[in-house]
Amino acid sequence: MANDIPLPVRLTEGVVWITGASSGIGRELARRLLDEGWTVALTARREPELQSLAHLYPRERVLVVPADVIDAAAMAAAAARIEAETGRPIVLAIANAGIWQRMGMNDFDVDAFRNVIAVNVLGTANMLAAVLPSMRARRRGQIAIVASVAGYLGLPRASAYGASKAALIHMASSLRAESAQSGILVQVINPGFVATPMTASSRASQPFVLSAEEAAARIQVGLSATRFEIAFPWPLVLAMKLAKLLPWPIFFRAIRLAPRRN
């Protein structure tokens, strides 16, 4: 087993913990996993939105745990509360909490940049720090980090968001390299454009955009397999990965010529 990739966890083994569960992909994924029979712990800052979802399911299978992912102590306390109140270990941690901030040369702001990194990167790190010790002790668990195809390469006006998602891809791939030794399956989720409240304010072109429901369905399927990257939709993923192979002058020329909304 030492050289094998760990298998996905099963719902009989424990609890799912999802951050960013109050809206968008996180909420739809939580709903799908609850429908599948999982016990799910929901975390976000907006408790009323979490409660509105929790009320649709049996109380013993859903736990609302409000917390701010940038607060390391709150995240550690949330993990401890989940395991204490359910009496079961967190076996699947889905680090989904994130924010989008348009930022280019004309609106570059270091405080806003810091906030994007704090939520998207350090918030994910806080969740991992809260679950990894017990997963390592059991030599069993599954971690899914929600990044984005925006992390593949630099795109206009995505200097903060893209940088944060690139960091998450790097984080996930680094941890994945230790999967066989740790017994923990690590995956990265790289969606393309998804219609969510977070992206509603974006004026950028959004080719192949999916609904949050469609995105959650694809993620659910990916979580049941062992592959490292869960990326979609494939036409956009393929185009972005091919763009990474272009020489820089050609890449930047293609970016300048690409249609986009102002």
Q: Which residues are catalytic?
A: 161
Extended beta strands in the chain, E state: 15-19, 39-43, 62-64, 90-95, 141-146, 184-191, 194-195, 210-211, 229-232
**β-bridge pairing 39-43 and 15-19:** parallel
Separation between Cα atoms, residue 15 and residue 93, nearest integer Å: 9
Helix (H, G, I), strand (E, B) or coil at 153: coil
Q: What is the DSSP letter of 150?
A: G
Closest CA to 222 of 185, 167, 195: 185
* Residue type at 127 in one-letter notation: M
Separation between Cα atoms, residue 176 and residue 193, nearest integer Å: 25
Residues 95-107: b if buried by 16+ CB within 10 A, e if exposed:
bbbbbbbbbeeee
Closest CA to 79 of 143, 35, 28, 36: 143
Closest CA to 40 of 179, 185, 200, 223: 223
Separation between Cα atoms, residue 254 and residue 85, nearest integer Å: 53
